[in-house]
Amino acid sequence: LEFCQRLPKIELHAHLNGSLSERTLRILNVSEHNINLYQLLHKQSNAEERLRLAFSLFKVAHDATNTIDAVCTATKHVIEEYYRDNVIYLELRTTPREESAMSRKEYIEAVIKAITDQNLVVVKLLLSINRTHSLDESNESLETILEMHKLYPNIIKGLDLSGSPYSGHFYKDMFERARQQKLKITLHCAEIVNNEEVNTILQFKPDRIGHGTTLHTKYGGSQTNWELYNNLKIPLECCLTSNVLSGTVKSFKEHHVAEWIKHELPFSINTDDKGIFSTNLSNEYYLMGEAFNLSKEYIFNCNYKAIDYSFASDEEKEQIKGILTQWKSAQY
């Protein structure tokens, strides 16, 4: 664990409102009753109940971040916590929300303010479309996202599709439009068995895929999709604790990343919702190392490769690679 803690790390899959720690929730004046709900998640033995609880915790976080100031404060603390965990490059994602006290544009500006007010971590912003929202709402959101991307092209780097996989849609045309405007695309995909949608997503060829739990045939994926995926080799964003606690994967040892390791397919290790699942990136690397008996060299390389899968500019990628190479040479 100590090695994983010291390693300068790359995080590519972190939802802002899932990343609020207990400390941040207290700073945002969340009641002790609601903070205790977070601890319940670990005590709940039924996987379905845990998933239901996880989604109700997003509501707690959303209620705590319904003003411009609260969004800015939350973002600032999340970045500081990643910094303390030795994360040097962070792609933070969030769904722009319209609240009575702020517009979607103001929501995005608040996140950007927190990002630009600090110089602890290189932070890029990915904006999310929630698959359970209506087409009209998502289109409105996309308009704002594209407008803001023009203003902050060096910070806003990508568009994500997230939200409960049990309902909603992948609105392909919206993501096609975003791609034409030079936004990178990452899509939550195959969190549950849904081979038709997975096929549509693979045909779309996103830059990255979130989770991909059921892509492999062993976990319910179709042979066609697995073969297609093997031809495309799209980097997968893996989130071990999140998958195990939300019950989409049975145990760490049975995590589908085993197939990516075995077949040398591209993947990165991430936290997903570090507040909800009480984890951090060091812990995620440690858990993977323990589950699959991986060497420090393997873990270093896995984190190093994530730089290439990131949405940073080529120049930024080279700088980050330089930091890691230097760190490695100082170890021996």
Both structure tokens of 196: 């038709």
Instruction: Tell me which residues in 1-30 interact with ligand 5GP (CB under 6 A).
Output: 15-18
Q: How far is the CB of 64 from ligand 5GP (least distance, A)?
A: 11
Both structure tokens of 55: 């989604």
In the residue annotation, 2 being an active-site residue is answered as no
Q: How far is the CB of 145 from ligand 5GP (least distance, A)?
A: 12
| Binding-residue pattern over the window 251 to 290 for ligand 5GP, x denoting contact by CB under 6 A | ---------------------xx-----------------
| Binding-residue pattern over the window 93 to 132 for ligand 5GP, x denoting contact by CB under 6 A | -xx--------------------------------x-x--
Extended strands (E) in 131-234: 156-162, 184-189, 208-211
Residue 203 and residue 227: Cα distance in Å, rounded? 12
Q: How far is the CB of 282 from ligand 5GP (least distance, A)?
A: 20
> Binding ligand 5GP by CB under 6 A: which of 3, 58, 152, 327?
58
Query: Cβ closer to ligand 5GP: 141 or 320?
Result: 141
Catalytic residue (one of 81, 91, 106, 191):
191
Check: CB of residue 146 under 8 Å from CB of residue 159.
Answer: no
3-class SS at 89? Answer: strand
Side by side, the strands of the sheet bearing 208-211 are 9-15, 87-94, 122-130, 156-162, 184-189, 208-211, 236-238, 267-269
Query: Measured at the alpha carbon of residue 176, what is the angle toward residues 172 and 181, in degrees to the nearest 5?
Result: 150
Check: CB of residue 24 under 8 Å from CB of residue 66.
Answer: no
Query: Cβ closer to ligand 5GP: 4 or 161?
Result: 161
Task: Count the neighbouring beta carbons within 10 Å of the beta carbon of residue 296.
Answer: 14
Q: How far is the CB of 94 from ligand 5GP (least distance, A)?
A: 3
Q: Does 191 bind ligand 5GP (CB under 6 A)?
A: yes
Q: How far is the CB of 188 from ligand 5GP (least distance, A)?
A: 4
Closest CA to 200 of 160, 173, 182, 220: 173
Both structure tokens of 18: 């899932």
| Binding-residue pattern over the window 213 to 242 for ligand 5GP, x denoting contact by CB under 6 A | -----------------------------x
Contact residues toward ligand 5GP (CB under 6 A) are 15-18, 58, 94-95, 128, 130, 162-163, 165, 188, 191, 242, 272-273
Active-site residues, by number, are 191
